[in-house]
Chain A
């Protein structure tokens, strides 16, 4: 079935089915009761047995909800994955053509931070990045003294209630699932992707599944593994155990861990943990570290009360929003004049002392303006939009809330005025002044008037209905570069050029040469545009699989230390994927698995031309550069 089944994985997908329970529970008990020295043997045992969390035999656990991969990633995905995940396999990456090389890795790979493999950002050179953060904090913040108010334990009401009523294809409902589970539950162990946040003393802070409080023992185990390696002057990056990968991220007193058998590359999972941490900083600022200075055993869960939805929405977006791995944002397609009207009024407001004015529709930017010199990182935008969209209360009325932009200044709060114009479209005005509410409210009324007068709000709704770029509309013959463009994106298609002659090569209705989908990322703009999904990729599950494939492609193209790659063409049973990276842009395209290679390359050229032809409408141009 697969075109590249030249290799197979090593035997690591079937760890000894008898051992996981015992080793895991042993780890747990050791962690709770014994000093660190004992852990050496426990951790080593994990390594020897190649088990760790691999509850292994879950071949097809279809009970999984939408937020996890079903069993659809077949052996092909796994075969390729081996190439990415192991350091030994880097040579395989260069062989971009139809990758199918598998590496027979052992059961467990300890990815450690040896000096030559150090890929951490230079900002935190030592394992105690904590001290560094503290040093830099003194000057900037002082806004929040969370530690002072922690007097009584407050029971937070959980907003659960959606337990177990999920249909994999139904529209996704935010919120925490399966709160009744803990690490003793079989179902909990079978979840394909866990996320944990814990403190350096091993106290649970957040868990994607299950009740944090019941996971104290498990958290302590994770903490023990991290500190065991740290005590040896090293740092653990990931542990590979059978099909499972355990990825660690240490941020001062906060530890983040992902345990996943989704075959996602290490770099992607690590990027997801970075975003989780950023989301936490957005809610609390980094000054939460001070609480741990005062009391190492500080319990952080009450501080995050009610934010389960924010984290679960972010985790959900890891599999349905390419911004999470592209580090770019996307715009709602709009006629140039419409967008200019929106930019002009926001600019007006920004000049009156607003730091950032952002008008968004769902997760797409309508317009965005920063005060002079202020720039907004795409990741901050992603986290902010996720926070606002997942917190229902913003929809009920205008709000004024402290938020922190981790890439802008992780130590200090900004104040966000948030107002929804309609169910999809919302305005965020950010300021440094805590007294600015009434000013921002006035600004909003001015903005609203202009938007109504110039029909921007109705144009937004129309664009939402029309969608963005459809691959079926890809012009067959590259249009000569013209400056006067049709008013809507779908119109460049001349009436005669239906791509039927291509369609006959496949059963699907999609673009020419079997083009199904593409993402174009403009390097300078920090923006990307993604085509609409055609029939062959209509279900959320198929979309998630494609995004995972892109994500893997992205990680392989950006992997550090093996030189820049320019193109990659790979074919498997699901798609032909083509990636093309230049100084100006990155193009990721998916084709029918039977697509012709030469034709696919030609089609990609046309996609790039098409994007250039309509860039006025799909990108926010002429604004200041947004990243530092």
Chain B
């Protein structure tokens, strides 16, 4: 149960669920969802995941190879738990053609850009289109502007993010993996938006 002890910032009344089943059949109370992170290289996908799963932040960026797999379980207030099985994909161009390998069958896609980089914002839009074409039809998509702590270097306005997300039926949030701002909120919000009917 190491996950609960390693999360320093848990004031929001959110509880980290115990490590439930390992391979036990998920039911309506205990969801298991596949989540994939997509976005340009260097926008902070791995940092978001490591902040969420381990409560850590490592400023020395390590280029992800292929995709890393991590999981984290959260408990919601309605006493359901959601176990996220997270595919943290590499943003490098050479892996783009292999992305379907990781987003195939994903219930949630988190598309990340860096608010200081317009290029990464257009790359995010590329991923949204790709998911609309090839992802699961009922996929829950979130658009995330990361590095919100660098507001003095901001080049993508909040409004741009909101507008694009609204147009594409996505949920939008700005985060900072460095300060942990909105990281937990991001995953809680995703959990709330998950379709429950299928499991019942």
Which residues does A use to contact B, with CB under 8 Å?
A: 144-146, 148-152, 154-157, 159, 161, 283-284, 302-307, 309, 387, 391-394, 396-403, 416, 434, 437, 441
Given the known interface contacts A152-B119, A154-B123, the answer about A393 and B65 at a Cβ–Cβ threshold of 8 Å is yes
B residues in contact with A145, CB < 8 Å? 97
Known: A399-B69, A400-B66, A402-B66; 13 extra A-B contacts, CB below 8 A, are A151-B126, A302-B93, A304-B94, A305-B63, A305-B93, A306-B41, A309-B63, A387-B65, A392-B62, A397-B70, A397-B88, A398-B69, A437-B69
B25: CB under 8 A from chain A? no
24 A-B residue pairs with Cβ-Cβ distance under 8 Å, sorted by A, are: A144-B97, A152-B119, A156-B42, A156-B92, A159-B61, A161-B60, A302-B93, A305-B41, A305-B63, A306-B92, A387-B65, A393-B46, A393-B62, A396-B46, A397-B69, A397-B70, A398-B68, A398-B69, A399-B65, A400-B67, A400-B69, A402-B95, A403-B66, A434-B101
Within 8 A of A (CB), among B40-68: 40-42, 46, 50, 60-68
B residues in contact with A284, CB < 8 Å? 94
CA distance in complex: A159, B93 (Å): 16
Are the C-beta atoms of B97 and A399 separated by less than 8 Å?
no
B7: CB under 8 A from chain A? no
Q: What 1/0 flags go to B146-157 for Cβ under 8 Å of A? A: 000000000000
CB of A154 to closest CB in B, whole Å: 6
CB of A126 to closest CB in B, whole Å: 29
B20: CB under 8 A from chain A? no
A residues in contact with B61, CB < 8 Å? 157, 159
CA distance in complex: A437, B36 (Å): 15
A residues in contact with B97, CB < 8 Å? 144-146, 148-149
Nearest first, the 7 closest Cβ-Cβ pairs linking A and B are A401-B66, A306-B63, A157-B42, A392-B62, A149-B96, A397-B68, A393-B64
B residues in contact with A161, CB < 8 Å? 60
Are the C-beta atoms of A401 and B41 separated by less than 8 Å?
no
B64's nearest neighbour on chain A, judged by CB, is A393
Q: Of B60, B63, B64, B94, which contacts A146 at CB under 8 A? A: B94
Are the C-beta atoms of B122 and A159 separated by less than 8 Å?
no
Task: Report the tally of A-B residue pairs with Cβ distances under 8 A.
Answer: 91
B158: CB under 8 A from chain A? no
Q: Of A152, A302, A304, A391, which contacts B65 at CB under 8 A? A: A391
CB of B10 to closest CB in A, whole Å: 21
B residues in contact with A303, CB < 8 Å? 93-94
CB of A148 to closest CB in B, whole Å: 7
Please give the number of chain B residues whose Cβ is less than 8 angstroms from any Cβ of chain A in the complex: 30
B residues in contact with A152, CB < 8 Å? 119, 122-123, 126
A residues in contact with B94, CB < 8 Å? 146, 283-284, 303-305
CA distance in complex: A399, B67 (Å): 6
Q: What 1/0 flags go to B23-38 for Cβ under 8 Å of A? A: 0000000000000000
CA distance in complex: A313, B120 (Å): 29
CA distance in complex: A309, B41 (Å): 16
B residues in contact with A437, CB < 8 Å? 69
CA distance in complex: A167, B64 (Å): 28
Given the known interface contacts A154-B41, A393-B46, A396-B50, the answer about A401 and B93 at a Cβ–Cβ threshold of 8 Å is no
CA distance in complex: A161, B61 (Å): 11
Are the C-beta atoms of A396 and B66 separated by less than 8 Å?
no
Are the C-beta atoms of B119 and A399 separated by less than 8 Å?
no
CA distance in complex: A88, B96 (Å): 51
CB of A569 to closest CB in B, whole Å: 46
A residues in contact with B68, CB < 8 Å? 393, 396-399
B23's nearest neighbour on chain A, judged by CB, is A442
CA distance in complex: A546, B63 (Å): 34
Which one of A145, A152, A157, A416 has the highest number of Cβ atoms from chain B below 10 Å of its Cβ?
A157
A residues in contact with B60, CB < 8 Å? 161
Are the C-beta atoms of A401 and B46 separated by less than 8 Å?
no
A147's nearest neighbour on chain B, judged by CB, is B97
B residues in contact with A283, CB < 8 Å? 94
CA distance in complex: A294, B67 (Å): 29
A residues in contact with B123, CB < 8 Å? 152, 154
Are the C-beta atoms of B93 and A391 separated by less than 8 Å?
no
CB of B182 to closest CB in A, whole Å: 22
Within 8 A of A (CB), among B82-128: 88, 90, 92-98, 101, 119, 122-123, 126
A residues in contact with B98, CB < 8 Å? 144, 402
B residues in contact with A399, CB < 8 Å? 64-69
Which one of B42, B46, B66 has the highest number of Cβ atoms from chain A below 10 Å of its Cβ?
B66
Are the C-beta atoms of B50 and A394 separated by less than 8 Å?
no
CA distance in complex: A477, B95 (Å): 58
Are the C-beta atoms of A156 and B62 separated by less than 8 Å?
no
B100's nearest neighbour on chain A, judged by CB, is A434
CB of A423 to closest CB in B, whole Å: 15
CA distance in complex: A307, B61 (Å): 13
CA distance in complex: A303, B41 (Å): 12
Are the C-beta atoms of A154 and B63 separated by less than 8 Å?
no
CA distance in complex: A307, B88 (Å): 18
CB of B6 to closest CB in A, whole Å: 13
B residues in contact with A394, CB < 8 Å? 65
Are the C-beta atoms of B92 and A401 separated by less than 8 Å?
no
B residues in contact with A396, CB < 8 Å? 46, 50, 62, 68
A residues in contact with B126, CB < 8 Å? 151-152
A residues in contact with B42, CB < 8 Å? 156-157
A144's nearest neighbour on chain B, judged by CB, is B97
B119's nearest neighbour on chain A, judged by CB, is A155
CB of A89 to closest CB in B, whole Å: 44
CA distance in complex: A328, B96 (Å): 34
CB of B94 to closest CB in A, whole Å: 5
Given the known interface contacts A146-B97, A305-B92, A396-B50, the answer about A154 and B119 at a Cβ–Cβ threshold of 8 Å is yes
B residues in contact with A151, CB < 8 Å? 126
CB of B113 to closest CB in A, whole Å: 13
